[in-house]
């Protein structure tokens, strides 16, 4: 009962702060609203029993990725005077692209209900604990885990190469 | 089988900690604003009190170096997060898990050596 109330509260917070992120004119306010959205989504993870994921979500997304976003904003030239006006053609295209993405997401969400990925009768509540996650990650998903390190390496090389071009 | 503990009792310590942390910040800020003297002057309200006079605004592009440091931080941050589930299961996974993590760390260290050798963390 209580978790249902928490769910509704978190959902409202998530949706409203996400809307605030889009509609805010000031990019720094957008980032702050996005942080609130991330916290609400982390709360949803908690409700789903994925404690580790929730903690990681707060540490990585609300902590580190947000700093990254702020640096991106700092790199952009955001003087109000030079703000470029988008043409009607660009606006229509972006509206179309966003609409298609929304349709795809709705289709996916509808499909998960059909597939019944989560069966409450056999669902193990401890599944999201760090220990269970570790057992699955380091036994069944061994290859993707090792490939993740290759991905990290390529990300490092790419970041260094792009920002330190003068050294090449 | 006994009934599962309710969500509230399960997370009560965390909720309590969050309430105390947020409450402390809110109370101290409210109290200092309520009791602190306010004698604003033009100099005090300057962006940098006793500093250099402000020219232009804060919305000028910053160096890409900040971004590079931040993105490298995120990569190593995520790397450490992979170690938590491994450390919890350290004994159960045994030697195989150790080798697994060493090969993962090996590639990360190769990346670290690359970053240092390329001078990516040098500021000038």
Whether B55 has its CB under 8 Å from any CB of chain A: the answer is no
Name the B residues in 14-33 with CB < 8 Å from any A CB.
none
CA distance B50 to chain A (A): 25
pLDDT tens-digit profile of B59-101? 677 777 888 888 888 889 888 898 888 998 888 888 888 998 9
Average pLDDT, chain A: 84
pLDDT tens-digit profile of A25-59? 888 888 899 999 999 999 998 888 788 888 899 98
Put simply, the answer to whether B67 touches A75 (Cβ < 8 Å) is: yes
Put simply, the answer to whether B104 touches A148 (Cβ < 8 Å) is: yes
Which of A1-10, A15-24, A117-126, B44-53 is least confident? A117-126
How far, in Å, CA of B98 to CA of B92, rounded? 11
- CATH class of the domain defined by A1-79: mainly alpha
Query: What's the mean pLDDT in B33-42?
Result: 86
CATH dotted code for B7-117: 1.20.58.1610
Name the B residues in 67-96 with CB < 8 Å from any A CB.
67-68, 70-75, 77-79, 81-82, 84-86, 88-89, 92-93
How far, in Å, CA of B105 to CA of A68, rounded? 24
Judge if pTM exceeds 0.95.
no
Q: What share of chain B is helix, strand, coil (3-state, %, to 5)?
A: 65, 0, 35
The residue in chain A having the minimum alpha-carbon distance to the alpha carbon of residue B75 is A152
Reported ipTM: the value is 0.72
Domain limits, chain B: 7-117
At residue A48, the 3 state secondary structure works out as: coil
The DSSP-derived string for A110-128 is HHHHHHT---TTT--GGGG
What pLDDT does residue B2 have? 47
The residue in chain A having the minimum alpha-carbon distance to the alpha carbon of residue B57 is A79
């Amino acid at each position: 009962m209580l978790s249902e109330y928490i769910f509704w509260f978190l959902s409202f917070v998530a949706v409203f702060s996400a809307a605030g992120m889009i509609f805010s004119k000031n990019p720094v306010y957008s980032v702050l609203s996005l942080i609130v959205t991330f916290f609400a989504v982390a709360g949803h993870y908690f409700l789903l029993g994925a404690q580790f994921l929730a903690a990681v979500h707060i540490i990585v997304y609300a902590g580190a990725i947000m700093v990254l976003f702020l640096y991106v904003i700092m790199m952009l030239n955001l003087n109000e005077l030079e703000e470029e006006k988008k043409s009607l053609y660009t606006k229509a295209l972006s509206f179309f692209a966003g609409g298609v993405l929304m349709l795809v997401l709705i289709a996916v969400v509808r499909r998960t209900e059909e597939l019944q990925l989560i069966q409450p009768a056999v669902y193990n509540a401890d599944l999201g604990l760090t220990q269970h996650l570790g057992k699955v990650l380091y036994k069944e998903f061994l290859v993707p885990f090792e490939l993740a390190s290759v991905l990290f390496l390529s990300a490092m090389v790419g970041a260094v190469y792009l920002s330190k071009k003068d050294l090449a | 089988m006994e009934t599962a503990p309710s969500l509230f009792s399960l997370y009560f310590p965390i909720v309590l900690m969050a309430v105390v942390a947020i409450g402390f910040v809110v109370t101290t800020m409210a109290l200092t604003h309520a009791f602190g003297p306010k004698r604003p002057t033009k100099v005090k309200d300057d962006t940098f009190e006793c500093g250099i006079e402000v020219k232009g605004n804060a919305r000028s592009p910053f160096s890409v170096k900040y971004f590079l440091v931040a993105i490298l931080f995120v990569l190593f941050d995520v790397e450490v997060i992979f170690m938590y589930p491994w450390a919890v299961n350290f004994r159960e996974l045994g030697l195989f898990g150790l080798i697994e993590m060493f090969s993962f760390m090996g590639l990360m260290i190769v990346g670290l050596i690359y970053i240092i050798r390329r001078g990516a963390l040098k500021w000038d």
